[in-house]
Structure 1
Amino acid sequence: MTEIEKYTESVTVVDHHCHNVLDQQGFELPLSFILSEANSLDNPIFLNQLKSTLTFKRSIKDLYHFYFENIPLQVESNNNYDTIIEQLIANKRRELGMENIMKMVFEKSKIEAIILDDSLKFVYNQIEFPIKSNQWHNKFTKIFKILRLETILEKSLIECKKQQMSFMSWKNYIEKKVRDPIESGIDTEDGVRVVGFKSIVAYRTGLKVENPSIQKVMEEFNAIMSSIELNDISGTQLRIASKTLIDFFIHITMGVCSASTKPLPLQIHTGFGDSDLNMENSNPLLLKQLIETYPTVPIVLLHCSYPYTKEAGFLGWVYPNVYVDIGLAFPLLSYQGMKSTFDQLLELTPIDKIMFSSDTHHVPEFYYLAVKYSKQIISKAFSKSIKNNEITLNEAKEFIDKIFKLNVLKLYNL
């Protein structure tokens, strides 16, 4: 192990984008499902096919070593190797329980703070699995949160229907929903400090965010208000896929942020995801107009924008307000995939604009896998840069500190 690899192992981590883990039921989800973005729970053949990915083969070995020491020879030579390993892991998880696993994960991964997006839900057969609360996560590390724009928008439309608001009243209402956490720094629902916003517009209507006329927005607003039925108000859930309203609300948010002396960053899902996503519409180059319209508002391109990583790196190179994160790509790509993806980022992207995240969702071990491979790949990349006389050892250490912690602290004013 080189000196920079040893140093990287020792650094503490701030995870700037992750989700609340599921309650104990998360342990019942197959690992092949957890280690992919596929909607595959009802398809046992496909679940089995996912076990043939390099990511799955590597990760179950990693998870075994997280819980145990060496894999017994009789297991390694068994034709049902994967099944045996999965069962041993499942048994150990149940034995330890969620809280002990979280403690192990955060201690081994040296995570000292996380920024949660608590809007991600897991629904199977129309049943929503319970997630652990923000306060529960706070038992293991410092927590902050970002607010998802689409969730704010959907809740605002339900509230608007309840109160029979006019269009202008609703517009003022959503502006206040954005302005309040910027000014107070606190989410009034749970008291957690708010440090940014997030959009999943790539999933809904694509990254080419337009600026619709107020007349068009009013017409769309009235049509949606007419379509909302509040038979069971407390249980009403709304999923908005209106390009007009989503784009309008993104511009509202960016406008409010840009008027602030310290605008909160906007995280945007870019690149790959699950089957709801149209990949053609998740290329970060489509954000060019939005980036240029609000030059003082930081925009964080999530997930390396994979497979549009070079495009993301270019945007971070030419626009002062664009940043790139490495979550989800680490650890869901193959080893070579993670290596080549990070190498592509290094081609142009300033190190000051690259940030670690895990994009952990559903189960706590995702934190561990993301930290393990991010540290391994990034330290090896900088070892090579040292050998190539691009950087010194001290510069490499500085870069490691920035990617895993300092860039996040600075951007989110933590």
Structure 2
Amino acid sequence: MATLDDLRKVIRSCPVIDNHAHNLLLPSKQEAYDLLSATTEAQGDALTDTHTSLSHIRAVRQLRELYDLDNDAQWEDLMEKRADILHGNFESFLRRCFTGIHTILMDDGLDDTTVYLYDWHDDFILDKTLRVVRIETVAADILREMYRKGNLPIGPALHNDDMCAEAWITFLQAFESAIVTEINDPDVAGFKSVICYRTGLDVKIAGDVQVATSGLEAFQSGYLPDCSRKDFRIESKGLNDSLVISTCRLLSAAAKQDSISKPLQFHTGLGDADIDLLLSDPSHLQPLITAFPDVQIILLHTSYPYMRQAGYLATVYKNVYLDLGEVFPQVSRNGQETILRQCMEITPFSKLLFSTDAHHFGEVYWLALKQFRQAFEKILVDYVENDDLSIEQAIDAAKAIYFNNAKRVYNLDVDLPEIEPVRLTDERTSRDYPTGMEQPRRTRAQSNREARIMQAPQPLQLPWREPEAHEKPYDLDAFTRFTTQNSDLKFVYVQWLDYLATLRARMLPIAEYRRLVTEGERIGISRGNTGTLQNDHVTSAVSSTGQLYVEPDMSTLRLTHSKDPLASATTIASFANEDGRPSTCCPRNSLKILTDRFSNDHSIDLVAGFEIEVVFLEVGTDDQYIPWTTNHAWGTFTPEQFDIALPVLAEIADELANIGINIQQFHSESGPGQYEFVLPPLPILQAIDTLIQARQVIHQIARLHGLRATLHPVPLNSVGSGQHVHLSLNSSTQSSEDLEKKELSFFAGVLEHLPSMCAFLLSNTASYARVKDNMWTSGAWVAWGTQNRETPLRRVKQGRWEIRCLDGFANPYLALSALLAAGLDGVQEGRQMKMKDCTANPAALTDTQREELGITTKMPVSLDESLDELEKDEVLKRGIDEKMIGDFIVMKRAEKEMLDGMEEKERHAWLIERY
């Protein structure tokens, strides 16, 4: 039988799902924000009185423990110690702050330039961080992009009702498209609205026509006149109401049609001074709650001071839940206990969710969880001692509120870990809680590549659809919208990547491109063009007869960067045959066929995220390439980098963002002049299209600054460059266990065929300088390991792996096609993963130890060896296209012969100039 000690053990140490929190400030920004705000919503002059509040006085006492200071330390002493922490081992301090947190659901809709990305926080918690998408931020990003492109009717155009109506429809369609995309994103746990801050919770429920009309009126009369002056803050009632209603409709449809249920959080109650407190009463949401019974609604912040109203709503409506955050640590101890009791007066435990609502500071996470545990223990023990609950019921309630309710409501694929005991002393002592168990450290790469940050939606990106045989291959309406919205467009680059990863292009005046699209035509090229080298040298793969047709994929159409001398757009193309069918000799088509087979035959969706490692070079006095920056190491930000590199790197990031490619981060890498740009995870074909367009921006902006940005794997005698790709296997229909079995079969197939795949992954003789031990590249053994960077395949977690043996010489369409072909064979054959997880450097193991792990094969050490393996690989020939593989082998051997005829210095420069 359980005892009170068992109950206390659960309350004090149960891991928690934090169902609502915010990003931490970057260390460089921490000192600009006052930690006083951790315990109050007051701002400005009102903040000065915080020192005399009970919540602040209690926090000071508790922070002494966190900072390891004496009991008589004052606020100034705490701030001095805090400054030392910020300039010292900040990450170690954060691991202590996050003790006990299993999963974070993070609203990352604020301060995107001053805070860490949401997935960065994974380093400090037991599992990972998922996103909560703030719908007003989505809308603002779309409107900001429309404003930037001159597509909002402002000034005299405000009086043109037709223009305003057209802009409103364009905006609303883009908004709904963006919300649908986020609904289908596995790293999005839910959505949030801050309409409480903007126009209040009294959302007006009406028919579709009335909602649309009200939204248009507010858009035209309330938003547009001040949109530039107010920096796109959306606070016009009809407009804000329409965003909430549109989101609810889409969430309801997803729940009914696709069985995808993602909750919608509402800020209620407690807020900043700009909130209308009367309109923050959640009772105003009752009509909305009633209108959308399929939408799970979370009332945030205990709705303070309207706890009882919120508890009532959560009791009488199946789709309403009450969050218990923010009042910890912003309310006094006695107030917190009163609030919890009022929330529990009638509300079932199954409708209550824990959160910290922490923001900006790690200390808030620590204080919120610490204070919640203290209040929660006092209340539950009191209920048990007064026979309101049995001990077992109280334990179930604690586990539910800490973890299981959020797991259920947000459909999280997590399990409550075994609960370890944590000692608790009386709160009146100076050490209320010990730091508890140290949490396992997740690597930075694991978090930063796992899922994408909140991107500015791309409302003007055109949809692609598979044409029927009798149809023209282009979406004319979408193209018309694009050209109408970009009326100054004069040229379009139609581009494709050849077998040797050379980006080819045709430049079409917009009138000719419009004719091509309107009439359903394609650009004709000779089949012989696919068999020539980078300098037009002819290989035996060239055929003098036959025609291929270049067909631009409209879904990839985007504007070029602002420094392009032409007012232009760019689009990625595939090859079609004369009958209009996709050509089998096209690497891009091959990849699409394979991804479709995974989706259609195995219900597996594949997502890829690329890391672009690039070395910036300049020409020295002896006409030799030298590194752009030399006071340089991984993750550094030296004065030289600040002065020389940062303006160019930031310009590249801005130009990428302007064309809808929102990188997750950029930073210095290990080699001189070497930097990395991290792209967001996307469906594989889209990920590679984006990679190609992003690399071109990097090359071109660097060129404008007199630099050569090269993807050469070893451009200098220093650390090499890779083009690592993270691959995730996802499924909305399979259980986690079934998906993991297929995942292991997939990568068992990959490992079996890795030596032959290296012909695509490491496609140049220079690539094999990175096939070395002890270099953190890919190692010299065919192996895999969890978080092991000395293996060519690093398993990050279930469902996500990093392919490290890939560099910038590769054609990524071919490389990923080979990967998928081998993986598909593994899945179809149900191949068992016989090779064991290698958690050590394979080179440091004995032969016997490697054999025990199943590591028996060395990686190829030359391109010739890889090509020989590829010639024998029947699985890859069946999975891709045998003729395309044959032509590729011919061309690689011809390229190697050409390069071998050069002097080393000439060959090195030749490759740098082309890659």
TM-score, normalised to structure 1's length? 0.87
Q: 2:119 pairs with 125, 135, 138, which one?
A: 135
Are residues 1:82 and 2:82 paired?
no
| Partner SS state of residue 304, structure 1 | helix
Shift of residue 284, structure 1, vs aligned partner: 0.5
Superposed, which structure 2 residues align to 1:298-313 within 5 Å?
298-313=296-311
Distance 1:223 1:333, change over 3 A: same
User: 1:116, 1:221 → 2: CA distance?
Assistant: 29
Query: Is this contact kept in 1: 2:109–2:137, CA < 8 A?
Result: yes
Query: Deviations for 1:158-214, whole angstroms, at most 9, x for unmatched residues?
Result: 3344373543333222211111221x224xxxxxx0011101111100000013613
Q: Which has the higher helix share?
A: 1
Give 1:351's aligned amino acid. Answer: F
Q: 1:112 aligned to 2:106?
A: no
Q: After the TM superposition, which residues 252-331 of structure 1 pair with which residues of structure 2 at under 5 Å, given as runs?
A: 252-260=246-254, 261-331=259-329
Q: Which residue of 1 aligns with 2:172?
A: 171
| Distance across 1 between alignment mates of 2:344 and 2:223 | 47
Aligned to 2:424: none
Cα shift at 1:391: 1.4
Q: Taking structure 1 as reference, are residues 332 and 365 closer, same or farther at Cα in structure 2, changes over 3 Å only?
A: same
The correspondence for 1:244, drawn from 235, 238, 242, is 238
Equivalent in the alignment of 1:353:
351
Deviation at 1:263, TM superposition (A): 2.8
Shift of 1:68: 1.0
Partner of 1:144: 130
Corresponding residue number in structure 2 for 1:377: 375
Q: Report if aligned partners of 1:14, 1:112 keep a CA contact under 8 Å in 2.
A: yes
Q: C-alpha offsets along residues 187-246 of structure 1, whole Å, 9 cap, x if unaligned?
A: xxxxxx001110111110000001361323223334467536779xxxx94101100001
Distance 1:223 1:160, change over 3 A: farther
Change over 3 Å in CA distance of 1:163–1:91 after alignment to 2: closer
* 1:208 counterpart (192, 198, 202): 202
- Counterparts of 1:29-48 in structure 2 under 5 Å? 29-40=33-44, 43=45, 46-48=46-48
Mean Cα deviation higher: 154-163 or 373-382: 154-163
Q: Distance in 2 between matches of 1:179 and 1:29?
A: 35
Alignment partners' CA distance in 2, 1:240 and 1:230: 11
Greater shift, 213-222 or 274-283, is seen at 213-222
Name the SS for the 1:267 alignment partner.
strand
With over 3 angstroms needed to count, the CA separation of the structure-2 counterparts of 1:330 and 1:382, relative to structure 1, is: same
Deviates more, 1:255-264 or 1:22-31: 22-31
Do 2:282 and 2:303's aligned partners in 1 also have CA atoms closer than 8 Å? yes
Q: Do the aligned residues in 2 keep the contact of 1:356 with 1:403 (CA within 8 Å)?
A: yes
Q: Give the aligned partner of residue 190 of structure 1.
A: none
Q: How many residues align?
A: 383
Partner of 2:401, secondary structure, is helix
Quote the residue 1:26 is aligned against: 30
The aligned runs of 1:41-60 (5 Å cut-off) are 43=45, 46-60=46-60
**CA distance, structure 1, for counterparts of residue 396 and residue 118 of structure 2:** 31
2:93 to 93, 97, 101: 101
| Conserved? CA contact 1:64–1:85, under 8 Å | no
Q: 1:12 aligns with which of 8, 12, 15?
A: 15
**1:275-309 deviation line (CA, Å, top 9, x unaligned):** 11111110000100000000110100000000000
1:158 pairs with 117, 138, 144, which one? 144
C-alpha offsets along residues 97-148 of structure 1, whole Å, 9 cap, x if unaligned? 4322211112xx3111101111123xxxxxx971111232122230101110
Identity of aligned residues (%): 31
For residue 382 of structure 1, report the CA deviation from its aligned partner.
0.9
Contact in 2 for aligned 1:5/1:376 (Cα 8 Å): no
Contact 2:10 2:399 in 1 (8 A): no
- Residue 344 of structure 1 aligns to a residue in which SS? helix
Post-superposition shift, 1:348? 0.6
Name the CA distance, whole Å, in 1 between partners of 2:337 and 2:403.
20
CA drift of 1:400 comes to 0.7
Q: Which AA in structure 1 matches 2:403?
A: K
Residue 181 of structure 1: aligned partner: 182
Gap change, CA 1:169 and 1:304, over 3 Å in 2: same
Q: Helix, strand or coil for the counterpart of 1:139?
A: helix
Aligned equivalents of 1:310 and 1:112: distance in 2?
29
Name which of structure 1's ranges 156-165 and 303-312 shifts more when overlaid on structure 2.
156-165
Q: Is the 8 A contact 2:299 2:310 kept in 1?
A: yes
Separation in 2 of the partners of 1:148 and 1:218?
A: 21
| Structure 2 counterpart of 1:86, one-letter code | L
Mark the CA change 1:209 to 1:332 in structure 2 (over 3 Å): closer, same or farther.
same
Q: Which runs of 5+ in 1 are unaligned?
A: 122-127, 187-192
Mapped to 2, the partners of 1:23 and 1:144 lie a distance apart of: 19
> 2:265 & 2:223 partners in 1: Cα distance?
28
Q: How far is the alpha carbon of 1:321 from its aligned partner?
A: 0.6
Matched residues in 1 for 2:95 and 2:105: separation? 17
Paired letter, 1:248: S
Deviation at 1:92, TM superposition (A): 4.4
Distance 1:11 1:152 in 2: 35
Change in 2 beyond 3 A, CA 1:163/1:406: farther
* Distance in 1 between residues matched to 2:286 and 2:37, nearest whole Å: 34
Decide whether the 8 Å contact of 1:5 with 1:380 is kept in 2.
no
| Aligned mates of 1:403, 1:209 — CA distance in 2 | 29
Q: Distance in 1 between matches of 2:267 and 2:297?
A: 11
1:61 aligns with 61
Distance (whole Å) between structure 1 residues aligned to residue 367 and residue 224 of structure 2: 47
User: Equivalents in 1 of 2:82, 2:312: separation in Å?
Assistant: 43
Q: For 1:30 and 1:166, how far apart are their aligned partners in 2?
A: 41
- Residues 50 and 56, structure 2, Cα contact 8 Å, conserved in 1: yes
Distance 1:147 1:222, change over 3 A: same
Residue 69 of structure 1 deviates from its aligned partner by 5.9
Distance 1:219 1:48, change over 3 A: closer
> Based on CA coordinates, which of the two structures has the bigger radius of gyration?
2
CA separation of 1:87/1:257 partners in 2, compared to 1, >3 Å: closer, same or farther? closer
Read off the aligned partner of 1:174 and give its amino acid letter: F
Amino acid at match of 1:168: I
What corresponds to 2:384 in structure 1? 386
CA contact (8 A) 1:27 1:363 kept: no
Paired position in structure 1 for 2:439: none
Distance in 1 between the 2:375 and 2:141 partners?
A: 41
Whether the 8 Å CA contact 2:214–2:239 is kept in 1: the answer is no
Q: Which blocks of at least 5 consecutive residues in structure 2 are unaligned?
A: 152-165, 413-915
Instruction: Supply the AA of the counterpart residue of 2:74.
Output: D
Instruction: Kindly indicate whether the alpha-carbon contact (under 8 Å) linking 1:27 and 1:90 is maintained by their aligned counterparts in 2.
Output: no
Let me know the Cα RMSD of the aligned residues. Answer: 2.2
Q: Is the 8 A contact 1:351 1:403 kept in 2?
A: yes
Distance 1:223 1:95, change over 3 A: closer
